[in-house]
Amino acid sequence: MDIGIERTPGHDRFQFRTVGGGLALIVLLGVSAWIYQLTQGLIATGMRDVVSWGLYIFTFAFFVGLSAGGLIMASGAEVFGVKALRPLARIGVLTAAVSVAIAAMTIIPDLGRPDRIYNLLLHPRWSSPLIWDVIIIICYFVFAVVDLWVLAGRRPSSQKA
Amino acid sequence: MATSEKQYGMVIDQNLCIGCWTCAVGCKEINNEPLGFWWNRILTAAPADTTGESSSAVADPASDNIDVPHGTFPDVEMAYLPVACQHCEDAPCVKVCPVGATFRRDDGTVLVDYERCIGCRYCIAACPYGIRVFNWGDARLEPDFTVGYGRDYRTDGRLVFTPDRPRGVVEKCTFCVERIDVGEEPFCVTVCPVGARIFGDLNDPDSEVSELVEEQGATQMLSDLGTKPRVFYIPVNEPRKTRE
């Protein structure tokens, strides 16, 4: 998928392998840590009743913010017609879609009972801001993916128009 | 909201409380609470704080440790402030629970469904009284056998008490729902050696709790938040009137 970033052909494969390999290693470490947490319970995080939300919620907020930033940049180019932002529209939407997906994923290890997450759909309580969070994050992800699909389908020439 | 005939409430007389923690230990015993769990704690507050209009000061404990007075020596003063779930009429924990695991029964008891809770801990963040506890890891019991009520209790088919803690769910004071449903008092009321805790039906104008709330100037903790707690405090420095 062409996201509108210039490439340097010679270093492509090498860069992809090192960066991708490094990231995969970090993912592996994270998943191992989560498996350890599943065996021990959330006590492994060091959180207690007094400070009951920690790094997971912080990470969630960070990625939601990053995602919003990406989409704002894209809408600056596409909706408000800011020409200077045009080259960044596609990478912005891609950032938005990926970030909001990561944000949603960071919530799962924060739950004490991730095995019961379906209760959010079975027994939603509408007075809870968290339910609205779920709805908005899902809509946001769908919107970002559709936007990405639309933008990625365009001819590069349309960028200059 | 449908209301039942009975509306349970509790009055705690701070003039009588001697800070012995019997209610807290009794609570741990009847509910088989693991190490580190306190559904019910006895904080200290400056006596002046508990009387004034500024109800916020009531929940401003001198310390997280027990028996710590307010002020600087030699000008220190102290009153005991037993704090468990306030069973609010307009409970923030009920509102923020995304799955309806925390719910309020028709008789005013706020309960947690151990089988529905997803462990998001939003209720812990929302509770202004800081009374909720979370099962961070496996429960540690000392001695390692079940004490107290010792079996599951369900209301409307929902598991609202279990002595075997599932990991990853939130829990709190239940007003001893398994006891009040058979006409008994919560265990903290039963074990209090000085009778500082009074439990009863707020709907019944002749009940002792109703009279205390009406006539003794009982206050609610953090009343300015509008949570309308069902636990009332008779503040120190107000002489308790003799009732006929």
Render pLDDT for B76-105 as a digit per residue (tens, 0 to 9).
777 888 999 999 999 999 999 999 999 999
- Judge whether B142 lies within some domain: yes
Calpha distance A110→B119 (Å, rounded):
8
CB contact under 8 Å between A52 and B119, yes or no, is no
B114 to chain A: closest CA residue:
A113
What average pLDDT does the structure give for chain A?
88
Q: State yes or no: pLDDT of B64 exceeds 80.
A: no
B92 to chain A: closest CA residue:
A128
pLDDT, tens digit, 9 for 90 and up, residues B37-46: 999 999 887 6
- Judge whether B243 lies within some domain: no
Which pLDDT value is given to residue B1?
A: 45
What does pTM read for this prediction?
0.86
Q: Number of Cβ pairs closer than 8 Å across A and B?
A: 93
Domain that holds residue B88: 8-234
From chain B, pick out residues whose CB is under 8 angstroms from the CB of A48. Answer: 136
Q: How far is B74 from chain A (nearest CA, A)?
A: 31
pLDDT cut 90: percent of chain A above it: 67
CB contact under 8 Å between A123 and B118, yes or no, is no
Cα-Cα end-to-end distance for chain A? 21
Residue at B185: amino acid letter = E
Tell me if B178 sits within 8 A of B187, measured CB to CB: no
From chain A, pick out residues whose CB is under 8 angstroms from the CB of B169. Answer: 112-113
pLDDT level of residue B144 (50, 70, 90 thresholds): confident
Which pLDDT value is given to residue B236?
A: 78
- Judge whether B2 lies within some domain: no
Which pLDDT value is given to residue B215?
A: 87
Tell me if B103 sits within 8 A of A106, measured CB to CB: no
Which pLDDT value is given to residue B63?
A: 67
Q: State yes or no: pLDDT of B149 exceeds 70.
A: yes
Interface test with A, best of B121, B122, B138, B171 (most A CBs within 10 A): B121
| Average pLDDT estimate for B150-172 | 95
B64 to chain A: closest CA residue:
A50
Interface of B with A (CB under 8 A): 95-101, 116-122, 124-125, 130, 132-138, 166-170
Calpha distance B69→B63 (Å, rounded):
8
| Average pLDDT estimate for B157-186 | 96
Q: State yes or no: pLDDT of B8 exceeds 90.
A: yes
- Judge whether B1 lies within some domain: no
- Judge whether B242 lies within some domain: no
Domain of B224, CATH number, reads 3.30.70.20
What average pLDDT does the structure give for chain B?
87
Q: State yes or no: pLDDT of B238 exceeds 60.
A: no
Pick out chain A residues at pLDDT < 50.
1, 158-161
CB contact under 8 Å between A111 and B120, yes or no, is yes
Which pLDDT value is given to residue B212?
A: 92
Q: What is the ipTM of this complex?
A: 0.83
Interface test with A, best of B39, B129, B136, B173 (most A CBs within 10 A): B136
From chain A, pick out residues whose CB is under 8 angstroms from the CB of B96. Answer: 127-130
- Judge whether B13 lies within some domain: yes
Between the alpha carbon of residue B199 and those of residues A95, A137, B122, B173, B204, the distances in Å are 57, 45, 29, 14, 12
- Helices A129-152/A55-78 angle, 10° precision: 40
Q: How far is B38 from chain A (nearest CA, A)?
A: 11
Which pLDDT value is given to residue A156?
A: 55
Least confident of B66-80, B183-197, B206-220: B66-80
- Tally of structural domains, chain B: 1
Q: Which residue did the predictor score with more confidence, B231 or B60?
A: B231
